[in-house]
Amino acid sequence: MDDGLFEQVNAFLNETFSSFKAITEEIKQYISSFYDLVSVNMYELKGSKGPAVLIANKYGTKKDLEDNVKTNHFRLKNRIVAFKKKLNERKAMIQSGIIDCAMCDGSGNLKKLGWHREEGVVTPTTEKVLCPRCGGKGKLTFDRNDKALINLILARMEGYADFCDNLLELTNKIAEEQMHSSIT
């Protein structure tokens, strides 16, 4: 992989990992409030009002706790959908074998600002210089090894997104059952 391509691939993998980290943080919060909701219901079933109220109070009321779980679930669900969409876009891009150079936006040139001085008058000038990342081609190309490596990383990320999706489904089912049973 040449330096220009490496830099660009590295930038988008970094971006992918950042979303991955953000999702992980949100899952942590979601699971924590989900666990609190389960605990509140367990204490209530056991007839221990005190501990149940104590946990629910962290959120305001039990209703606030339930809303917190629902809202976080909804937000995470959307985040994961967006994350998967991005992964698929990246996969398609790599599959095509060629991407636009991000530094010059595919034009192959960069504008260099300068000054021109003549008879005491200074005027600004713009000069076109070859883009250092793509060497003026405007495109960056993946070879077979590049593709294989990046696809492997993206596939792992996709596996993680699927895992989060399943986790959300499962916890949401339990949460809904609990909210339902607590009304009766």
In angstroms, the CA 181 to CA 85 distance is 36
Among 8, 36, 133, 146, interactor with Zn ion by CB under 5 A: 133
Of 9-17, 33-41, 126-134, 165-173, the window that binds Zn ion (rule: CB under 5 A) is 126-134
Interface with Zn ion, residue 103, by CB under 5 A: yes
| DSSP character at residue 137 | -
Interface with Zn ion, residue 99, by CB under 5 A: no
State which residue, 104 or 154, has the beta carbon closest to Zn ion.
104
In angstroms, the CA 38 to CA 61 distance is 14
State which residue, 52 or 94, has the beta carbon closest to Zn ion.
94
Angle at the Cα of 140 (from 136 to 146), degrees rounded to 5?
Answer: 150
In angstroms, the CA 59 to CA 21 distance is 25
* Alpha-carbon dihedral angle through residues 33, 38, 44, 49, given to the nearest 10 degrees: -30
Among 5, 23, 99, 131, interactor with Zn ion by CB under 5 A: 131
Among 80, 134, 154, 168, interactor with Zn ion by CB under 5 A: 134
The distance of closest approach from Cβ of residue 133 to Zn ion in the complex, given in angstroms and rounded to an integer, is 5
State which residue, 103 or 150, has the beta carbon closest to Zn ion.
103
Among 87, 94, 104, 150, interactor with Zn ion by CB under 5 A: 104
Interface with Zn ion, residue 5, by CB under 5 A: no
How distant is the alpha carbon of residue 78 from its chain centre?
A: 11
The distance of closest approach from Cβ of residue 131 to Zn ion in the complex, given in angstroms and rounded to an integer, is 3
Under a CB-based contact definition with an 8 Å cutoff, are residues 124 and 115 in contact?
yes
| Enclosing H/E stretch for 43 | helix 3-46
| Enclosing H/E stretch for 111 | strand 109-118
Among 55, 87, 101, 175, interactor with Zn ion by CB under 5 A: 101
Site string for Zn ion, 144-183 (x = CB under 5 A): ----------------------------------------
